[in-house]
Amino acid sequence: MRFNIATKLFIGFLCVIGLNSAYIVIVNKINDVNAIVDILKHKNEVKNRLLRLKTLHGVQGTSIISFAKIGRQESVENFRNINKSVICMIDTVRQHMDTILAIDSKLPGRNKPTVAEEAGLIHSISLNNTRYSALFEELIDKPALSRKKTMGALDSLDDIIAEALDSAETITSERANKRIRDIGRNVAEVKNATMIILGGLTVFSIIFGLIFSRTITNALRRLKESAAMIGKADFDINPSGFPNDEIGDLAKAFSAMAVDLRNKQEELIKSKRLAAIGEVVASVNHEINNPLMIISGNAQFLEMSMDGYPDDMKERVKTIIEETGRISEITRKLREIRNPVAQDYLSGSGQMIDIKQSTQ
């Protein structure tokens, strides 16, 4: 399967993006931390409101005692005004708890601290405060001598409300501490996840860079060696073993170029050889044909003048004429050589040109 260099780089880039997507985990953890911080802010508001409720409830008790002992109407108005503040404060606490519950529902995890117990205590405080206010209103309408039983009921409710406020404050503090521990755990998880992701990115980048750079540099080094071989007239370039990409295409182009150069070199050698043979043939024709013509002419003259000579002498002259003709034919064929074909000497030492095959 072919992978271009651009494709390889794109795949590496996608892998880096894939690793970076792990930062979503970190972002989610950071969002969880931010949500817990918001919960802590509302928890702190709840705690402050509970402290304020304890203070207001104490003032309510003081107003009741003041009215019961000396019958001051200012104490009644003070109690009623404080009761309105208490009711408003309780509603505010409930709103903060509803906000905490809404934020808490978006956080992952099964062992999350809830506000159910605190909400139950606030509901109990609200009901008891309503009863507390109603008993005080009954107390106002009763004569001084018949207030003892109502005062006892008020004292009991006062203790119940005070205990509920203390419990709500304690639970709120415990839940806040649990949230603080959650923040510490989430921060540690964010830190660990960040280190793992950064480490993974670093290791992947190093490995991918080493493999990719080594693949390219090794291929380029082989191409450089191939170019040096071509420069030394060694055209045996092997295109195999290169990656199946642009560098592999370049190696194949190098191999094809080497084949073309080898063919051109062979053609050049052949043309130079033909040129050298042509020069030799011209010299041979000039140096051999001139005396050969003289020998052949004189031999023919002798043949025509040998009437009455012995037959063996005539045969020798005839042989001279035939051999000079043979030599003339050879020099003619030398001029017709187009594709020199060499063959070994019969003795096995060196080579000679086959004139017959070279002129075909």
Residue type, 242: F
Under 8 Å CB-to-CB from 133, ≥6 apart: which residues?
79, 83
Alpha-carbon torsion 28, 34, 37, 42, what sign?
A: negative
Average predicted confidence (pLDDT) for the chain = 77
* Distance of alpha carbon 168 from alpha carbon 94, whole angstroms: 12
pLDDT tens-digit readout, 72-83 = 788 888 988 988
pLDDT at 91: 92
Q: Which of 295, 347, 301, 358 minimizes the C-alpha distance to 324?
A: 295
Q: Is 71 left (phi over 0), alpha (psi -120 to 50) or beta?
A: left
Give residue 144's pLDDT band: very low, low, confident or very high (50, 70, 90): low
Residue type, 257: M
Strand partners, 344: 351
**pLDDT of residue 17 exceeding 90:** no
**pLDDT of residue 347 exceeding 60:** no
Kindly state the average pLDDT of the residues 247-268: 76
Taking CB atoms within 8 Å and a gap of at least 24, the contacts of 344-353 are 353/277
pTM of the model: 0.52
3-state secondary structure of 343: strand
* Distance of alpha carbon 171 from alpha carbon 158, whole angstroms: 20
DSSP codes, 324-359 = HHHHHHHHHHHTT-SS--EEE-TTSSSEEE-HHHHT
**Comparison of pLDDT for 65 and 358, the residue scoring more:** 65
**Comparison of pLDDT for 56 and 259, the residue scoring more:** 56
**pLDDT of residue 179 exceeding 80:** no
Give the Å distances, CA to CA, from 211 to 6, 207, 222.
15, 6, 16
Helices 116-141 and 23-70: crossing angle in degrees, nearest 10, is 20
pLDDT at 118: 81
Give residue 88's pLDDT band: very low, low, confident or very high (50, 70, 90): very high
Q: Which of 103, 115, 63 minimizes the C-alpha distance to 86?
A: 63
pLDDT tens-digit readout, 150-175 = 888 888 888 888 888 888 888 888 87
End-to-end CA distance of the chain, in Å?
A: 50
pLDDT at 111: 54
What CATH number has the domain spanning 251-358?
A: 1.10.287
Using CA atoms of 127, 130, 132, 134 in order, give the dihedral in degrees to the nearest 10. Answer: -140
* Distance of alpha carbon 321 from alpha carbon 306, whole angstroms: 14
3-state secondary structure of 200: helix
Instruction: Give me the percent of the chain exceeding a pLDDT of 70.
Output: 79
Instruction: Give me the percent of the chain exceeding a pLDDT of 90.
Output: 2
Task: Centre a 10 Å sphere on the Cβ of residue 15 and count the other Cβ atoms it contains.
Answer: 14
